[in-house]
Structures are given as structure tokens and as C-alpha cells.
Amino acid sequence: MAKIIVIDDDDQLLHMVGLMLERGGHNITLISNPRDGLERIKAHKPDLLVLDVMMPGMSGHDLTRQIRETSGLEGLPILILTARSQDIDRDTALKIGANAYLSKPVTSQELIKQIDTLLTPKVDEKAAPGMILSLFGLRGGVGQTTLATNLALALRRVSQHEVCLVDLSLAVGQTPFHLHLKPQSSWADLMGSNTFDWPMVKEHLAIHPTGLRLLPAPAMPQTSDGLPAYFIIQLIELLRSRMMFTVLDLPPILCPAFMAALEMTDVGLHVISPDVISVRTAVQANRALVNSGIKLKQKSFILNQVSAKPQLSKATVERVLNGRIPFHIDFDPNQMQALTQGTPLALTGTNSPIPTIINRMAEVIWNRAQKARG
Amino acid sequence: MSLGTRNLISLDLFTDAYRVTGHTKVGVGGIHAELANPNSNFLEIQDAYISRINQPGEIVTHYQEAAFRKNNINFIVLQDRRVGIPVGTQHGRSIYTRGRPIPAFLTVPSFEIKGEIIHEGKVAPRDILVKSIGNYLLIFAAEASASLYPNIAYSGDLIMVSKDRIGLIGLGKK
């Protein structure tokens, strides 16, 4: 979360930009009179300034010049956001000391992406190295993607740090539907080169209005060869160094990429539902992992009831798995509507089962991450 | 007396020496009706930010209300062509839906403008200048560059060029 000051004489636009940035998880101060700008910038010490150009009394250019001449503010990132949309306007803004330029009208995605680019060095410094959380299970249809999406959003909300959700599905990922996003690329687009760096990964991340980043699965189904282990290792290493939390939604296949991801995981969340097939699959999956020599640093079960009537009770599931289930999510009747609307329940503030448990989980994980960082 | 619905549109207006960015109120007849209004020789601009054309990024001064003599306007740059196509000709079988694009080059004092006009029938400058609707020629996907400072250019989805200010017009391929 960054401290951002927005200066614009148009109250409506000012509040709209403020809302976009608040949804991006930032702490916003709005100023409508540019003459007050310099003093308030000195007082607030923001991480970034979003500035209009055409304002009565003092133009954004004049304010930028003053800021650049003020001791201590020479390095303040300034994003010019103006209705003057000509190339010459961009050149002028950059020449007088702005760091970036966007012309109105602007979408929240464009704005958040640009702001994120300007803030990246500071965010990285605070966030690295991050925690890797994997949601996995070899039985599909147990709500794993729903929980991964909600957990990533809840972590973003509670921590206000960088969080990335990685959809590693091989059979057309569903995370964009959950988040109501239309991503233009996926992890498959990173496959072209043997090595890739952070700017390349970042280029393929979609941004949700909350600021959550998403690396989506490809739009076409892939074979397990399409997701090699070396790729996953490189990807997770990069995300760990840049994100406070990376939430992996693993495919339900024991492929090398699955194994590699679990080996690098800090918290593994095995998602099952209270039915005979799911529990039986979970028992076999545990055996397979043990036989493969994979030891998770920390592992918990999430028992997610995806139908109104469970086949098995929690006690029965615990007995069969020979372990305690710390997270039990009852059937949530609101989930279908949330999926249709592209608004995950973690964002709605309702007290239904999914957001209640997921928000609790996020708080536990966030507290643990803070303790680990001292 | 009711003034009816009036919308505020954004524009970049150019005279021989100045660039003015601001808003103007238009009625149901759109910007063309305002420019052709015989009751006023001036176009009123709100929130007018004035720059010199040799330093067009720099704002010289600002006025909340300003008025520009219409016959001083060389051209107006609009970022959305829907704002500048004459009302009643945006849809149906109008020239703007059935015409074909023709490359065009024009000069006005201090500027040269390249883009496309939409025209139907034989390409003849006289026809285009005389028979086209209104006092402004519509140049689509256009770019205007300052004659003395060719590196200074302005682009717009539509540039409305005052017919009275056109010094030269070239049509079709070079």
C-alpha cells in the first residue's frame, strides 16, 4: 500500500481517480486546490503524486517545477494525468520533471498499472521475499479455484501488499471468470524463451481493480508437457522475490510441474469436499506425495462443501484422513451468484461461509508472515 | 425561456498563433450549429488554457470564460469524431456512412494538415469545398503540423478545418 496524493480541480474526476486507487489498495489524499499542493505534499510525504495539468491558479507544470526545486521532493514520482492528449503534451510533461504521463479518460487498469510501475522499487523492497501458498488436490470440482481466488483477494485486502494469483490449470483456467477480467495473455506466453525475467512476467500479469495480480492459464487446454518443471521453478522464484504472497492454483495432475511447485511451497492447502470419491482421492494423493519424497513445510486440509447436502461428516473425513481439518467451509449458496457476477465473495463483506473462513485464514497467514519478518 | 439540453464538449482550437484547450457548450445542433450561429461572431470557451504554437505544451494563461472570434479559428482538433460530424448525418445513408475515404492535404495559416475526407462521387476540390455541409471541412484521422516548427504536430480523430482559412487543398494519392 502506498501513500498517494491526487491533485485535480475537477471534483468529480478527483473522486473517481481516488476511488480507483483506493480499490487498488492505496492510501489516498485528495486535493482540489493546486495552490495548497506543495505544502500538503511536504506535510504528507507521499510515495507518489497524481497531478492534473489544466488547473486554475496554478498549472500542473508549475507545481511539478516547484516540487523538483524543493529539497527532499526531487525524487517524488509524479504521474501527470491530463485531458491534453497530444504527443507534445507528453513530451512537455516529461521534460519538466514528471515521471509518467497518462491522458484522460483513463481506465482503472491503465492507472493502476502505471502507478504500480512507478512504485515498483519501493514495493519490492518491502515485500521480498514472499510466501508461496499452494491450493491443490487431485479431485476436480471441489471449489479449489474459488477458494484460491478468494484467498488471494483476502490476502491482498488484509496485507495491502503485492499478491499474485497464478492459475496453473491445464484445462482452461477459470480465474478470469471469477474476477471478471479479460486477460490478453497467460503463462503460456512466457514459454517462448528458455529464461525470462521480472519485466517479462509483469507484462503478462492482469490486474484486478483491488490491485491483485493474476497470471492466468492459457485459453486453450494444454498437455502436462506444456507446463515443465523448470518453468515453474523459475516463475516461483521470481514471484517470491517480488510478491508478499503468491497463491498457486495447482492442476489436479501429479505432473513434474505440480511436484516442483509443491516443493517450493511454504503453505500447502489440500482442498477436498465431504464425499467418498474426494476423500478417497485425497488419501491416495497423500500416499503418492509421500512416495515421491515431497515434504511440505506446512500442510492443512480445507474441507469445502460444494453441495447443499454433504455425503460425509467432518468427523468421518478426519477419521479417514487420520488428521485434523482446521478449515471447514459449509455450503455457500451465494457462490453461484458471485461467480456469475464476477465478484468473489471475499469482496462482498457478507457473512456467508466462504468469506468468513477465507478472511480468517488470510488473517492467520498474514499474522504469521509478519512474525516471520520480525 | 428554456435553453434546452446543452452538452459540454472538449476541444483543442487553433488560431494563427495560439492553441486553446477547453470546453464549449453545444446544443442539439452540435458544434457546427454553434460555429454557424449568425447571432454571434464569437465562440465561447470555458476553462480555456492558452498556449503559444511554438511552445504548445506550456500553458501561458488560463481563463474560466473566453470568447474567440470565429473567423480567427483555423481549425479545431477533436479526439472523438462523433462530436464533430454534423447532427443528423452520423447514421443512415449519409455521406459519412456511405462515402469513401480520400487522402487530403491542406494548408491554413501557420499549419499544414494531412488526413482523409469522406466523399462520394467524383473527387473535385471545388465540389468538396463548396458542396460539403457547413463552414468547416472535416478531416478524419488527421494530423496538423506547424509549418515553421514541423516537429510540433497535433493529431485527432477529427480535425475541423475552417474553409475560409484553407490556402491549398490536395486530394487523392500524391
SS3 of chain A: CCEEEEECCCHHHHHHHHHHHHHCCCEEEEECCHHHHHHHHHHHCCCEEEECCCCCCCCHHHHHHHHHHCCCCCCCCEEEEECCCCHHHHHHHHHCCCCEEEECCCCHHHHHHHHHHHHHHHHHHHHCCCEEEEEECCCCCCCHHHHHHHHHHHHHHHHCCCEEEEECCCCCCCHHHHHCCCCCCCHHHHCCCCCCCHHHHHHCCEECCCCCEEECCCCCCCCHHHCCHHHHHHHHHHHHHHCCEEEEECCCCCCHHHHHHHHCCCEEEEEECCCHHHHHHHHHHHHHHHHCCCCCCCEEEEEECCCCCCCCCHHHHHHHHCCCCCEEECCCCCHHHHHHHCCCHHHCCCCCHHHHHHHHHHHHHHHHHHHHCC
Q: Tell me: the pLDDT tens digits for A132-152?
A: 999 999 998 899 999 999 999
Same domain, A105 and A195: no
pLDDT at A126 over 70: no
Residue B155 with chain A: CB contacts under 8 Å? 86-87
pLDDT at B1 over 80: no
Same domain, A115 and A160: no
A315 Cβ partners below 8 Å, 6+ apart? none
Which of A125, A147, A171 marks a domain boundary? A125
Mean pLDDT of B67-92: 82
Same domain, A195 and A105: no
A62 to chain B, closest Cα gap in Å = 9
Return the pLDDT at B108: 94
How far is Cα B87 from Cα B103, in angstroms, rounded to an integer? 24
Q: A124: pLDDT confidence band, cut at 50, 70 and 90? A: very low
Asked if A59 lies within 8 A of B56 by C-beta distance, the reply is no
Fold of B7-73: SH3 type barrels. (2.30.30)
Which of A104, A125, A146 marks a domain boundary? A125
Residue A84 with chain B: CB contacts under 8 Å? 12, 21, 49, 57
pLDDT at A121 over 60: no
Same domain, A113 and A225: no
Return the pLDDT at A134: 96
User: CATH number of the domain that A138 lies in?
Assistant: 3.40.50.300
Residue B154 with chain A: CB contacts under 8 Å? 86, 88
Return the pLDDT at A324: 87
Same domain, A348 and A363: yes
Return the pLDDT at A328: 93
Q: Tell me: the pLDDT tens digits for A42-52?
A: 998 898 999 99
State the amino acid at position A78 in one-letter form. Answer: I
Query: Reduced to 3 states, what is the DSSP secondary structure of residue B34?
Result: helix
Q: A281: pLDDT confidence band, cut at 50, 70 and 90? A: very high
Residue A83 with chain B: CB contacts under 8 Å? 10, 21
User: What Å distances lie between residue A175 and A155, A211, A249, B4, B157, CA to CA?
Assistant: 16, 15, 9, 48, 36
Classify strands B75-78 and B153-162 as parallel, antiparallel or unpaired.
Answer: antiparallel
Domain that holds residue A315: 128-372
Same domain, A77 and A194: no
CB A131 within 8 Å of CB A102? no
Look at B96 and A215; give whichever has higher pLDDT: A215
What residues does each domain of chain B span?
A: 7-73, 81-171
- Whether the CB of A224 is below 8 Å from some CB of chain B: the reply is no
Q: B150: pLDDT confidence band, cut at 50, 70 and 90? A: confident
Pick the residue of A12, A86, A89, A104 with the most B CBs within 10 A to test the interface with B by mutation: A86
Rounded to the nearest 10 degrees, how much is the dihedral formed by the CA atoms of A301, A305, A311, A317? Answer: 10
Which of A102, A125, A148 marks a domain boundary? A125
Same domain, A9 and A35: yes
Q: A374: pLDDT confidence band, cut at 50, 70 and 90? A: low
Same domain, A48 and A134: no
Q: B95: pLDDT confidence band, cut at 50, 70 and 90? A: low
Q: B174: pLDDT confidence band, cut at 50, 70 and 90? A: low
Return the pLDDT at B2: 41
Q: A280: pLDDT confidence band, cut at 50, 70 and 90? A: very high
Q: How many domains does chain A have?
A: 2
Mean pLDDT score across all residues of chain B:
86
Within 10 angstroms of residue A223's Cβ, the number of other Cβ atoms is: 9
Q: Which three cell numbers stand for residue A24?
A: 487498488
Look at A123 and A41; give whichever has higher pLDDT: A41
pLDDT at B91 over 70: no
Return the pLDDT at A229: 87
Domain B7-73 shares a fold with domain B81-171: yes
Fold of B81-171: SH3 type barrels. (2.30.30)
B113 bridge partner residues: B106, B144
User: What Å distances lie between residue A137 and A145, A263, A280, B86, CA to CA?
Assistant: 11, 15, 11, 62
Which of the 8 DSSP states describes residue B86?
P
Q: Tell me: the pLDDT tens digits for A165-217?
A: 999 998 888 999 999 998 888 998 888 766 788 888 988 899 888 888 999 99
Return the pLDDT at B43: 93
Q: Tell me: the pLDDT tens digits for A202-215?
A: 888 998 888 889 99
CA A297 to chain CA mean position, Å = 23
Classify strands B42-52 and B18-26 as parallel, antiparallel or unpaired.
Answer: antiparallel
Same domain, A319 and A176: yes
Same domain, A106 and A182: no
For chain B, positions 29-48, list CB contacts with chain A under 8 A: 47
A39 to chain B, closest Cα gap in Å = 23
CB A303 within 8 Å of CB A172? no
Residue of B nearest to A94 (CA): B57
Residue of A nearest to B62 (CA): A56
Return the pLDDT at A195: 75
CB A79 within 8 Å of CB A50? yes
**What is the share, in percent, of chain A residues with pLDDT greater than 90?**
45
pLDDT at B86 over 90: no
pLDDT at B103 over 90: yes
pLDDT at B111 over 80: yes
How far is Cα B21 from Cα B47, in angstroms, rounded to an integer? 8
Judging by beta carbons within 10 Å of its beta carbon (0-12, 13-18, 19+), is residue A189 exposed, middle or buried?
middle
Return the pLDDT at A224: 78
pLDDT at A80 over 60: yes
User: CATH number of the domain that A75 lies in?
Assistant: 3.40.50.2300
Q: Tell me: the pLDDT tens digits for A226-273?
A: 888 888 999 999 999 889 999 999 999 888 889 999 999 999 999 999
